[in-house]
Structure 1
Amino acid sequence: MCAWGEAWARGPTINYPIDAKQQAALAALADRAAGLARGGPEKERRLIAALQHRYRNGGGKGAGDYAFARDMDRLARDYPQDNEIAIVAADAWMIPAAHKESRENLGRALELIGGALARKPDDTGAIHFYIHATEMDGIGGQAEGYADTLQRLAPAASHLVHMPSHTYYIVGRYEDAVRANMDATRIDAANARRLGLSDPWKLAYHSHNVQFATGAALMSGDAEAALVQSDAALDRAAASKTALSPWDQVAVGTAYFAQGRFAPDRMLARPDPGADRGYLRAMWRYARGEAYARKGDAAAVRREAALLQASAADLKDFEGYRPQAVGMVEVARLVLTGRAAMIEGKPALAAAAFRTAAQIQDAKLGRISDPPGWWYPVRRSLAAALLEAGKPDEAAAQARVTLKAWPNDPVTLAVLAQAERKLGDGNAADLHLAQARRGWRGEPKLAALASLAGA
């Protein structure tokens, strides 16, 4: 079973498949386990046989993954009180669904995890996968109660301390998501020191924790947290002599967003990341445009928008995610166009740009998790532009649509409150403004950031 454990743990996850060479090595290890288990308990032999199937055209994207899941499911039915088997079976169903970006068999995965949690509500493995499974199935809010317990159960495990932030982001608890990831990055730093690593960025999920903290801080207005995390990300990217993975580029892009939003002068002092980092250069241009927007310089915003571009060659490393990368660049250019028009007092032109950007965000980017690659709901900017154009009813409608996908977004709530006040509904406006203030942290004050030009 030690050989089984190693072979299972080195296999694919919902985030990463494994290649043919890795499969061959793990298939050999599973075969070794089978040889050692001859004459052993039936349960162990069946677990090992299931794992042997996993590494025959499996690895996260093949028929072997389904064979493994079916075998594990049969084991879960035959041993209905065994939480470990239930959790492994649920994970086995989730992996191919994640790599196909489908909801296939997620219902069964949730049933298995739900049974495990009913038997043991503080099972960390079950909670971890329940957060993932509910997020994948579009019902992430159902994990909120369990998310609140996970950090207490595993206070020294960086990834499990981070995991509640997935649920918190979905339900609009953005500052709680900041806290979880700030805690995780501190654990990463301690782990790196203990392992003798030069910095925590060598740990697999550290960049994920940094980006999540930064993205959540952008939503909650926590400038202090956003700048601490974004400074670290940008300094490391500048010092790196190697190519950045698409994932790291998206994380560094989020760091640029934070600097443009909360530290305009600091952002404008940031150097060009270089022509060999085309996606990052586009996001650098966007963040410079945001910085100029904070200063009220429409001409400079338009100048950055005109220079903001990324060719197909610039985005080749994104492979299957190239459409999303293209969408990010398109949205960035349109948002700057809208920002400039708002500064110039042309809300109708701004609304047209923001509307197109929101449509692209919905069609190409959606609610990409971990957190969303594009840092905020552009539709709230559309709502702000419509309000400035004298259309409070349309503004309120757009704000309400935004809040369905981005619940409790303080800036959207502030725009909605302004629209409701224009429409004569002072009670609703007071309630929504109070809700916005509860979710907002730090400087600048909510009223300033939610001003129509800055939404």
Structure 2
Amino acid sequence: MANTALPSDFHTVKDYAFDTGAYGMKITTSHPDAQVWFNRGLVWTYAFTHAEATLCFQRAIKLDESCAMAHWGLALALGPNYNQPWEALRKDLPDIVRRTYEASRRALALTTDRSPVEKALITALQSRYQSDEPAPIEQYHKQNQAYCDAMGAVYQRFGDDLDVATLYADALMILTPWKLWNLVTGKPNPGTRTLEAKAVLEKALAHDAAKRHPGLLHHYIHLMEMSPTPELALIQADHLRTLVPDSGHLCHMPSHLDFLVGDYRAAISSNTQATIADEKFMHHRGTKGFYTLYRMHDYHTLIYAAMFAGRKGIAMDTVNRMESTLPLEMLKAMPDYCEVFMSVRSHVMVRFGMWTEIIDYPLPEDPELFCVTTALAHYAKGVAYAATGDVPNAMKQKELYEEAAKRIPDSRLDFPNKCIDIVGIASAMLDGEIEYRRRNYAEAFDHLRRAVQLDDELGYSEPWSWMQPARHAYAALLLEQNHVEESAAVYRADLGLDESVIRARRHPNNVWALQGYHECLVRLGRDAEANIIRPQLTVALALADVPIQSSCFCRTDNEQAADAEKSCSNNKCKM
């Protein structure tokens, strides 16, 4: 065990700063407080808060050095996980392989007189950590497979144990993290063991106790979010929302499904709770460490939910909170992972048509460090100038954007997407906006269709790496030029009302596309369909805190939208 000084709230079990809920796994220990610390460590492990988990397991070991499962937990928490496979641990690999090997072997040496399931779990973990010397990454893939096979044998013996089921499903999923499903076909990717993991989790979820098991619920959400039927995990998501009050990540996780079913209000609620928990965690543990990325992710997701719900106030407030809690020293230490969060402001301001604020907002002082932020700031300024009719300045910003984009390294990420791919969408969008204002409409729409294509080709992530769907600008400008049928088709795809785009690219119930589609239906005289959409739109508009007459503020002539609304209110579209 590393000689790491534990925080002051680890002095006694009652001093601990965080509420990790009631879940626990009964283990063999001579000290009742060691059981408490083990339970906390296991819950944090299930919550992907691994640094905190290791502290809890270390505290359990201090109380009971002979507690085999505390050493097992330490080895488990220090190793790879669904969000951090071996490749992501490469920088600290020598230390990690040494510590995991030592902890796992210490656990093995203490298995005498332990329960059969404890012995089985500890023995299986030896397959993941086979040496204390670093090896090529390919070797760790083999060790992942060996561990998965060993856990399969444990599952055959103890299949009704919910922790065993969770750990086996985790081992199956880690073989191909974030590649469990083919988003186009809706089938598992070749070479994955997705359906096995699904069967294991769903068998376990049939137990009444499953609704109180954070690891089981968490893994099922991850398993199903990229599937063609994410809604099947909504009940499990609801069980998880408040199960571990001080785990920001677990509070956040249900929103992965909320987006996919169009429940943006629930996504706002879950991520609001997540950011409150995260800020409590930050207060006690500081702003350094890998969990800062999870905290940024929760802010980012709250902003994304607010954008889809038309909640400018929440979106801008959260941008300010996010930026103020990302320390410069961590940004400098991990620019490839952290810098992209500083670029989110541009997405939000474009979404809400904050043209004056965009034009006046200062550029970063360090364009090399803030390369993505600088590029997207020039993009946003270009859109703002175009939307306000100042084409010459829009074109100047396009030139500045192109120069800034050249500084973005291939390594810079909005995980899992490369930022150089993301800014490709910005380039096509800005070209489209400028040509539109120059009245070169055919060329403008070609650029915007290209932006839609590039947007769709991004790798799956929540939030999506391009935060305002390119379809929203494209459809709004089509509608402004009276291409009503074509615009309606674009909105229909965005809302998921047909099968023209993959599930992950649909945004059910979003107020922007509902407004645009409703206008299309009214203008096309399709009043029965408009009546179907109208109740959803009414609710969505009630939740927004800004007037929404179009799916994009880049559409400057909203008289037709207002006329359609008036026609619907006064005539055939009455509810």
Give TM-score scaled by structure 2 length.
0.72
Q: 1:337 and 1:443, CA in 2 relative to 1: closer, same or farther beyond 3 A?
A: farther
Query: What is the aligned counterpart of 1:429 among 530, 545, 548?
Result: 530
Q: What's the counterpart of residue 362 of structure 2?
A: 271
Structure 2 unaligned residues grouped into runs of 5+: 1-68, 182-188, 497-505, 559-575
CA distance in 1, matches of 2:414, 2:343: 19
The letter for the 1-side match of 2:248 is S
> Which secondary structure state, in structure 1, belongs to the residue aligned with residue 127 of structure 2?
helix
Offset, 1:202: 6.9
Q: 1:267 and 1:391, CA in 2 relative to 1: closer, same or farther beyond 3 A?
A: closer
Offset, 1:233: 3.1
Query: What is the aligned counterpart of 1:106 among 194, 197, 201?
Result: 194
Offset, 1:31: 1.3
Matches within 5 A, 1:280-359: 280-292=373-385, 295-309=388-402, 310=404, 314-318=408-412, 324-343=418-437, 346-359=440-453
Q: 1:92 and 1:430, CA in 2 relative to 1: closer, same or farther beyond 3 A?
A: same
Q: What's the counterpart of residue 7 of structure 1?
A: 75
CA distance in 1, matches of 2:465, 2:241: 25
Q: What's the counterpart of residue 50 of structure 1?
A: 124
Show CA shifts across 1:220-264 (max 9, x none): 111111101112334456955725533322322223211343344
Q: What's the counterpart of residue 167 of structure 2?
A: 88
Offset, 1:32: 1.5
Offset, 1:138: 4.2
The letter for the 2-side match of 1:307 is L
Alignment RMSD: 3.0
> Which secondary structure state, in structure 2, belongs to the residue aligned with residue 317 of structure 1?
coil
CA distance in 1, matches of 2:549, 2:262: 19
Q: 1:448 and 1:42, CA in 2 relative to 1: closer, same or farther beyond 3 A?
A: closer
Matches within 5 A, 1:30-429: 30-38=104-112, 40-56=114-130, 62-98=141-177, 103=189, 104-119=192-207, 120-122=209-211, 123-195=213-285, 197=286, 203-235=292-324, 242-262=332-352, 263-273=354-364, 274-276=366-368, 277-292=370-385, 295-309=388-402, 310=404, 314-318=408-412, 324-343=418-437, 346-363=440-457, 365-366=458-459, 368-404=460-496, 405-429=506-530
The letter for the 1-side match of 2:420 is V
Give yes or no for contact 1:30–1:52 (8 Å, CA) kept in 2: yes
CA distance in 1, matches of 2:461, 2:413: 18
Give TM-score scaled by structure 1 length.
0.89
Offset, 1:433: 4.1
Offset, 1:3: 0.6
Give yes or no for contact 1:301–1:337 (8 Å, CA) kept in 2: no
Give yes or no for contact 2:513–2:551 (8 Å, CA) kept in 1: no
Rg bigger for which structure? 2
Deviates more, 1:407-416 or 1:381-390: 381-390
The letter for the 1-side match of 2:483 is K
Structure 1 unaligned residues grouped into runs of 5+: none
Give yes or no for contact 1:392–1:419 (8 Å, CA) kept in 2: yes
Q: 1:110 and 1:101, CA in 2 relative to 1: closer, same or farther beyond 3 A?
A: closer
Q: 1:327 and 1:63, CA in 2 relative to 1: closer, same or farther beyond 3 A?
A: same
CA distance in 1, matches of 2:394, 2:317: 25
CA distance in 1, matches of 2:442, 2:177: 41
Show CA shifts across 1:2-37 (max 9, x none): 111111122111111233321232022111111111
> Which secondary structure state, in structure 2, belongs to the residue aligned with residue 205 of structure 1?
helix
CA distance in 2, matches of 1:279, 1:135: 28
> Which secondary structure state, in structure 2, belongs to the residue aligned with residue 446 of structure 1?
coil
Offset, 1:165: 1.0
Give yes or no for contact 1:141–1:171 (8 Å, CA) kept in 2: yes
> Which secondary structure state, in structure 2, belongs to the residue aligned with residue 447 of structure 1?
coil
Offset, 1:151: 1.8
CA distance in 1, matches of 2:417, 2:243: 39
CA distance in 2, matches of 1:65, 1:202: 24
CA distance in 2, matches of 1:381, 1:260: 11
Deviates more, 1:258-267 or 1:132-141: 258-267
Number of aligned residues = 452
CA distance in 2, matches of 1:215, 1:290: 20
Deviates more, 1:167-176 or 1:321-330: 321-330
Percent of residue pairs identical: 26
Offset, 1:268: 3.3
Give yes or no for contact 1:334–1:354 (8 Å, CA) kept in 2: yes
